[in-house]
Amino acid sequence: MAQPARDFTEKLEMVKSLLTASTMSVAFTGAGVSTLSGIPDFRSSKGVYSSKWQGYDVEEVLSISFFRRRPDLFYRWGNEFMYQLEQSTPSIIHTLLAVLEEKGYLHGLFTQNIDMLHTKAGSKKCWEIHGSAKHHSCTNCNAHYPYEQIAPIVRKGEVPHCTKCQAVIRPDIVFYGESLDASVLTRAVEMFTASKLCIVLGSSLVVQPAASLPSYALSHGAKLVIVNAQSTTYDSAAAVRFTDLAEVGEALLPWAEGLRKRTALVPSP
């Protein structure tokens, strides 16, 4: 639901001021950002988790134990939800964040999404907390394969196998039951701790430990902006809170494109 025009405009001006004043801004995105690109989210009433898939809870299908037992079923699910991603295009929020980075107003972007849309939009300082469908690896010899090589195999209804040792190939995403990449998590903690502005977009901040990252920003005095349809546990701490991602993106993108490019960036930790 759109906010009253005056209230929205005042909040928007505050976000612009925060962005231009901040010497270290980081963004955190979740599945809500990609719903604007037609990719279902997980936890909303119409999300991927809202119904079973062929009798299985989707959270079970996305667990590492299930993948090891039934890679065939995982890839059948994946054919519907993971291996059609080249048909999706970046949303206005993906584009906005890429423009803010290019102009020098966004210093780091951390996403829970595995759909590659941030990099497709042009973001370069982007870290995928839960991995990415872009990369795959052999479960035995660790040989690497790109999405473009694996997707056609999955779409034929087959399980991809390593061309070197014939073992099953897995996507380099973080399954339930696995730990996050320690180096990515360390960088995230460092950058959120050093930030002056933290922007959360399209995440209900539920899945840990990634969901706790804004707390590092808040505990060191950073301002927090949240744009998400559902409530979050950080709403009361936010300096600015919106509910409509598309509305915010449409309002901010022309402004961002008109910004003068900063010549000196704050180095990332």
Catalytic residues: 130
Q: Which residues contact 137 (CB under 8 A, 6 or more apart)?
A: 143, 144, 145, 169, 170, 172
Evaluate whether 51 touches 45 at the Cβ level (below 8 Å).
no
Phi, psi torsion values for 25, nearest 5 degrees? -115, 135
> Cis before residue 71, ω within 30 degrees of 0?
no
Distance CA 194, CA 263 (A): 20
Distance CA 133, CA 173 (A): 6
Buried b (16+ CB within 10 A) or exposed e, 13-37: eebbebbeebebbbbbbbbbbbbbb
Distance CA 246, CA 91 (A): 9
Cβ burial, residue 100 (10 Å; 0-12/13-18/19+) = buried
CA 119 to chain CA centroid, Å, is 11
